Amino acid sequence: SRIRTFREVYRQLPDKHPFKQIESWTNEIGTDNGLVDLILHPQDRAFTVPELYELTDENKLLISAWGVTSRLKLLHVPEDVNAATMTRRELYEFNELFFSDIIKHCVLLTKEPI
């Protein structure tokens, strides 16, 4: 089964593997239901920052808030980057690639600004 295969592969990952960070923010991988909900759900898919904005634009929604972990990294301004010429969206897209370790975006979508 996919659950058994995941558990076999996961056990073999080195402790410092980025995917092992999952254990620091959730305990869902401890149960089969949680594992399916978190990683193996057939209707679940990952979104990049540009894809999130595309989804919101197409559906007339706003990203009203970002989860703390994502927000702190996405607002970071690296040295030698002129953030004054970038939109917030461009800065978020840049930082997603710059850090490359943001494994989960948590956003609040609304129809109206809050």
Task: Write out pLDDT tens, residues 39-74.
Answer: 888 877 778 999 999 999 999 999 998 887 777 788
pLDDT surpassing 90 at residue 100: no
Higher model confidence: residue 17 or residue 4? 4
Q: What is the distance between the alpha carbons of residues 83 and 99, in angstroms, rounded to a whole number? A: 16
Query: What pLDDT is recorded for position 37?
Result: 85
Mean pLDDT of 19-30: 79
| Structure tokens, 99 | 């850090």
Q: Which of 86, 100, 1 is nearest to 48 (CA)?
A: 100
- Find where tokens 């997603």 sit: 96
Distant-in-sequence, close-in-space partners of 104: CB < 8 Å, separation ≥ 6: 25, 67, 69, 70
Rounded mean pLDDT of the chain?
86
Q: What is the distance between the alpha carbons of residues 105 and 68, in angstroms, rounded to a whole number? A: 9
